[in-house]
Amino acid sequence: MNIMKNLSIFLLILMSVKSFSQSQKEVYSIMDANAQKLAQKSGAYSVSIGILKDGKIYTKHYGEIDKGKGNKADDNTYFEIASVTKLFTGQLLAKAVLEGKISLEDDIRKFLKEDYSNLQYQGVPIKIKNLISYTTALPRSLPDEEKLYENLTDETPFLLRDLEARYSREQFFKDLKKVKLDTVPGIKYKYSNLSLELTGVILENAYGKDIETLFKENIFSRLGMHHTKFILDKNEYLANGYYSNGKLMPHFASNLWSSTGTKTKSTLGDLMKFLKDELSSKDKVIKESQRNVEDSKENWHGYFWDDYYISEYGKVGFKHGGAFGTQTWFTIYPEYNIGICMIINISVPGGGYTLQNTASEIMEDFTSLSDKKQIYGYTLKGNNVVFTYEHPETLNAGLINTVSVAGSFNDWNPGNKEYQMKKKDKNHFELEIPVSKFEKGKTYSFKFVLNNAGWVITPKKATNADGTDDNNLTLKL
């Protein structure tokens, strides 16, 4: 009996693995279809996509870098990767923590050479762990750019470029003494490039080397990333990028440390090497840089990831890099051992969201076991609506703490106690709601939410999708 049961489990796993395996032709076909949709939705002239799957790297480039010139990008085309650089910084800091050079509990002032009595709030200092989780209570940036962001136009990037070009490291430290925290560090999430510049200073002081040298010695040389650098050679060129209206955008011109990414140029070829490194599950530095430091039951940030959470594809971590005219999306799905990197040469509001959705659609193409069209997410059972979510059997459902239903019927609140689903089996969740709660003939929109953070993407097989940009599921009695 046990032998038959074990054989059944083995065959199920084998079938699942086989179902998720695509030929090279199929992988490129998936890339082609999603690149076309990404170009249409974003308005990008150039789209570059890299996939790491089953240990193999696939890259392909579409469109043209410069309008009307037909100059297609390739694996060695240099782009500004902006905040993706923060993952390099995160790896360095994780290494310093493992080596004992820095502790996550350290007051950041321990590594600053002057007195900064202002870098605390009511006696509570900023700690290293606050830097990596974006909870320092520090302002967005130095120099102060808030006013320029209040009224964004196609001239704003030029004004930002000029402001940063005039701003020196000496002025940075002077202004740092004037910074005032607005709350206790460690409480409130606030994305801050200033936190990353300070991390660069801290790493330089801890190791006695400049940040570019640290990147080269610990990451670029180790991985053979010979086309990732701060300054290009005379015969090397940086790809142009554009604003949403087609206006050619300037490049960064910062004098600061670029632990934020304002100086880093890289190629899709090199980023795929880094993507493979981030999927090295046995590497201690990688594991530390992705760790749920705060033991959050929802989402976390590892060491400078934009977000790390549980999705319908298991664990997922991503980083968005936005330059004035280029956007890069870097994401990993460790439980599937899949990584996706995309670069588009346009800066458009909501571009990060468009890239994120594209990555999710690529993952669905890779993992979907059936294309059969059906009403998805609920059934009617007597006088009840039964919401149903099924987590893939090959993934670790133990990572799921909560599954909820959020929609137009509960103000899209995943924390609503009435709409928390119950675990019926290892990977099966259900919730029964009386039909009387819903108005007959009215269309409601909803989505499933994992751990209050991972909003499940509506599958393509769902016949009850609303077709909006959010592509919600619909319920109509």
Q: What is the pLDDT at residue 21?
A: 66
Could you count the other beta carbons within 10 Å of the beta carbon of residue 436?
A: 9
Q: Give the residue, 384 or 370, on which the prediction is more confident.
A: 384
3-state SS class at 297: coil
State how far Cα 437 lies from the chain centre.
37
Spatial distance between the Cα atoms of 146 and 144, rounded to a whole number of angstroms? 6
Share of the chain above pLDDT 90, in %: 93
pLDDT digits over 251-297, tens only?
999 999 999 999 999 999 999 999 999 999 899 999 999 999 999 99
Beta strands 314-322 and 327-333: pairing type?
Answer: antiparallel
Report residue 20's pLDDT band, with 50, 70 and 90 as the boundaries: low
3-state SS class at 435: helix
Spatial distance between the Cα atoms of 122 and 377, rounded to a whole number of angstroms? 49
Whether the predicted pLDDT of 17 surpasses 50:
no
Lowest average pLDDT, out of 10-14, 24-28, 80-84, 358-362, goes to 10-14
Is residue 104 within 8 A of residue 319, CB to CB? The reply is no
Q: What is the pLDDT at residue 67?
A: 87
- Residues 210-218, mean pLDDT to the nearest whole number: 98
For residue 107, the 8-state DSSP code is B
Q: What is the pLDDT at residue 369?
A: 80
Report residue 36's pLDDT band, with 50, 70 and 90 as the boundaries: very high
Report residue 22's pLDDT band, with 50, 70 and 90 as the boundaries: confident
- Residues 453-469, mean pLDDT to the nearest whole number: 95
pLDDT digits over 106-137, tens only?
999 999 999 999 999 999 999 999 999 999 99
Spatial distance between the Cα atoms of 47 and 29, rounded to a whole number of angstroms? 15
Is residue 275 within 8 A of residue 219, CB to CB? The reply is no
User: Which helix (H) or strand (E) segment is 79 a member of?
Assistant: strand 79-80
3-state SS class at 359: helix
pLDDT digits over 413-435, tens only?
999 999 999 999 999 999 999 99
Q: Please state, rounded to an integer, the average pLDDT across all residues of the chain.
A: 95
Whether the predicted pLDDT of 12 surpasses 50:
no
Spatial distance between the Cα atoms of 304 and 308, rounded to a whole number of angstroms? 10
3-state SS class at 288: helix
Extract the tokens encoding 154: 């196609």
- Record the pTM: 0.94
Q: Comparing C-alpha atoms, which of 418, 427, 417, 419 is closest to residue 446?
A: 419
Q: What is the pLDDT at residue 141?
A: 96
Q: What is the pLDDT at residue 370?
A: 81
Spatial distance between the Cα atoms of 322 and 351, rounded to a whole number of angstroms? 9
Burial of 141 (0-12, 13-18, 19+ CB in 10 A): buried
Q: What is the pLDDT at residue 173?
A: 98
- Residues 31-60, mean pLDDT to the nearest whole number: 97
217: Cβ–Cβ under 8 A, 6 or more apart, which residues?
209
| Beta-bridge partners for 474 | 445
Report residue 15's pLDDT band, with 50, 70 and 90 as the boundaries: very low
Q: Which residues of 238-258 are buried (b: 16+ CB within 10 A; e: fewer)?
A: ebbbbbbeeeebbbbebbbbb
Cα–Cα separations (whole angstroms), residue 277 to 31, 111, 396, 465:
22, 29, 22, 37
Q: What is the pLDDT at residue 11?
A: 43
Residue 169 phi/psi, 5° resolution? -65, -35
Q: What is the pLDDT at residue 3?
A: 46
Whether the predicted pLDDT of 88 surpasses 70:
yes
Q: What is the pLDDT at residue 9?
A: 45
Whether the predicted pLDDT of 19 surpasses 70:
no
Report residue 172's pLDDT band, with 50, 70 and 90 as the boundaries: very high
Residue 316 phi/psi, 5° resolution? -145, 135
Q: What is the pLDDT at residue 344?
A: 98
State how far Cα 34 lies from the chain centre.
18
Q: Give the residue, 13 or 287, on which the prediction is more confident.
A: 287
